[in-house]
Amino acid sequence: MTSKKKNLSFFEGKTASDAKGKRFGIVVADWNKEITDSLLEGALYRFKEYQVDKNDIITYRVPGSFELPQGAGILIEQEEVDGVICLGCIIQGETRHFEFIAQAVAQGCMKLGLESGIPVIFGVLTTDTYDQALQRAGGKHGNKGEEAAVTAIQMAALRSV
């Protein structure tokens, strides 16, 4: 089944338990700020829906997606959190730079999560075009920031079992 025109961020009912009392970190890349700010809005919206108090959400900003894992590591060191979301946007250019950055960020997030024991969620768009990114940051394909928040809530709940 193709998802070409489907909003993939549609949530039918609650897909995670309420997260009241949980603390979350969000690390947001400033590169492609229009996109990443929209992802942040989506994550904050979803956290509110799942009863996360705004005072229990810590947001750090970093220059670009490459810095997301390090920013998340600093956040984990400085704050007591149940999960961290890394939000960024990497758009394919004319060189292979895109591949190196995307792979490094994905591996960095995974490594940090495994080493720290704190779920680190990869909420980074990796698209061919700016328009594709827009469509995944609140457009026809939903908002991947919302998906990242639900994933963080689910992983924090799993960690609490």
Q: Which residues are catalytic?
A: 97
Residue 7 tokens, joined: 């909003």
Q: Assess contact for 40 and 28: CB atoms under 8 A.
A: yes
CA 58 to chain centre: 13
Handedness of CA 44, 48, 52, 54 (dihedral sign): positive
Give the DSSP H or E segment for 158: helix 144-159
d(CA 43, CA 85): 9
